[in-house]
Amino acid sequence: MKSYIKTQLQRLRIYLIFDVHKRTNYIVKKNIFYSVGDNFIFQPRKIPSDPKLIKFGSNVIVASNVTFINHDVFHKVLENMDNKFHAYYARAIEIGNNVFIGANSTILPNVHIGNNVFIGAGSVVTKDVPDNTVVGGNPAKVISPLDKYLEKRTILEGEVPNTYDIEDVWRRFNYEKYGK
């Protein structure tokens, strides 16, 4: 009971740390996940129910509201249906190096996300993601090789500095959408 209370208090503490860098530092310091590489950023304020079943490589950014699901409780439904014992399903999730996981994505159990991967916002990752790819959708599918995406972003990078001007962003939007 004592460890359960400690875990719940730790979850509450993480939820109440509003600054993403302070929250990430706390997560790393307290060894919340199985392992975490260098240059890790964790924006979600909710910790998965089984964080010790998740490994993160180096240079990984997890955007807001990403959900990691390591298990299900479907065995309870089955047991109530047929009064037989059914195994609890719990699996690991492994994230490689140089990975971005977009906001509101869901990563399901028993998934390996390779190195150099970009996962688009709102994706549902149901199976392994190969290295050097951009994936998105529900279920997530390969959209393009990462190098093609980087080409596109590199061209835009020279036009839009890391710090942006609101008016410049709106000018670009209007030009791209309406040609003016």
Return the active site residues: 71
Q: Report d(CA 123, CA 125) in Å as an integer.
A: 6
Cβ atoms of 117 and 132 within 8 Å: the answer is yes
Among residues 52, 99, 56, 45, which one has the least CA distance to residue 71?
52
Cβ atoms of 107 and 67 within 8 Å: the answer is yes
Instruction: For the chain, report the end-to-end CA distance as a whole number of angstroms.
Output: 63
Q: Report d(CA 57, CA 43) in Å as an integer.
A: 16
Cβ atoms of 19 and 13 within 8 Å: the answer is no
